[in-house]
Each structure stands twice: as C-alpha cells, then as structure tokens.
Amino acid sequence: MVKTLETHLKGIRAEGKALIVPYIMAGAQGLDQLEAELQLLEEANVSAIEIGIPFSDPVADGPVIQAAGLKALEAGVSLKGIIKVIQETKVQTPLVIMSYFNPIYGMGIETFINELKETTVKGLIIPDLPAEHQDYIQPYLAGTDIAIIQLVSLTSPEARIKELVSQAEGFIYAVTVNGTTGQRQDFDSSVGQYLMKLSQQTEVPVLAGFGISQKEQVEQFLKSCDGAIIGSKIVNLFLENRQQEVKTFMTEVSALTT
C-alpha cells in the first residue's frame, strides 16, 4: 500500500513543484507556540512539516538544533505533550515526526503509534534506528498510514543504497554531509551526482537534507533530486522570534519549480 505521504509528495512533484519540508523543534519556544508555528508553515505552502522531538543526546544534530532541544527539555516539554498538540492541531499539511528511538521506547512503541494513528502524522524518522533494527517498530506500523523514512548517507555503499531504496516509502532522506546538521555555505562537489544516482533508482521522492539554508542551495539540489529539508535556519529564526522571516523564506522556496 502506497501511503498518503508518498502520494501527496508525488502529486506536488507531478505539478512540477519543488518538495520543501521545514524542520522545527517542538517546544523550543514553548509548547503553546507549536500550533502557531505549524499554521505559519502551512500558510507558506510547504509540502510537509518535520517535527523534532527533543532528546538529551541528539547525536545527528548540530549546535542550533541541539540548543533548541535542550531548551525544550528544560521547559518540561515531553513527547506526550507534543502528541497532545498534534492530536488537536487544525493543520492539514502532512506531519513527519523526527525522534530518536529512546523517547519512543520510553513511551512504549505500541502506545506511541496508537496515539498517532488518527492524526496528520504521516511519516516517522528515527535516525538512530538502522534498517536492520526497524523490525522493532514496523509491526506496529502495519495497517497504519504512517511511513517510516529511510536515511541514505554519502558514504553508503551501493549495496546498502539498493537495500534502503527497496524499503523506502514516503520519501528518501538523502543526507548531504558527513557530519551533523547545521547551516553550511558549501557542499562537496560529489553531492549532486550522489543525489542524481539515488533519484534514478526509485520513484519514491528524494529530498536532500542537512546544512541547507539558502534558496540558491535548494535551486542547485533541485537539479539532482525532488526537493529539500530545511532545519537549522528555520529553528534559529523561530528561536529569535523572526516568524515573518520564516514565512517569507518558506513561501519563496516552496514556490520553486523543478
């Protein structure tokens, strides 16, 4: 069964539009601001919204997202509280939860999935749960409309890429740097070729992520894949209460065509 997230993104792609997914850290500005952030991004016509779950040991995150997560944790933000906001949101744009495995395991995997079944959460990213161990969660996703997103790195060998692509649903998260998240000025010259090679192997949308913060970078990646995930820039702007800049920038990149 092709799940809603993948169908939704393919529909946008078929219209010749870029797939743009902003990342936010839930609760960094207080959990009471999460709904407003989601609504602002929906008004900017983004393709989907990735919601980060704060965690004390975020090994894949750069300094901006780490700081935002710690700020949320210090304010007492919990996975349970985030899910309550999601259950009540008026936003219809597909949501994708990005969480390390520990908070999910702590809540209880079955409980976590059951709490999300009737929400607009249509995707799940767990960066510290490799494909070999996704059987911890896959049985609970069976029969749901929640896709588990595969991450592919620059250093993934060909056999590994084929394995991940064969399991892909929703979209493929193509990591564009060797390291953690964070805004970058330059990317390795091989990234475009890597993205193009990945895109040629699948009909599942391929989105570039990690380090992307400029419209020009998105335009460059659109030559090789379907779109981009933009995280640290958006998290930082929200932390600085520059909501209008978030809306302006996201509206601009969401209007890009392929």
Q: What is the pLDDT of residues 26-50, one digit of tens each?
A: 999 999 999 999 999 999 999 999 9
**Annotated catalytic residue: which of 6, 37, 61, 169?**
61
For 143-161, the pLDDT digits (tens) are: 999 999 999 998 889 999 9
All domains of the chain in start order, with CATH: 4-149+226-254 (3.20.20.70)
State how far the Cα of 39 lies from the Cα of 95, in Å rounded to an integer. 12
**Annotated catalytic residue: which of 50, 115, 169, 226?**
50
Q: Any catalytic annotation for residue 158?
A: no
Q: Any catalytic annotation for residue 61?
A: yes
**% of the chain beyond a pLDDT of 70:** 97
pLDDT at 188 (0 to 100):
73
| pTM of the model as a whole | 0.95
Q: Is 45 exposed, middle or buried (0-12, 13-18, 19+ CB in 10 A)?
A: middle
State how far the Cα of 152 lies from the Cα of 51, in Å rounded to an integer. 19
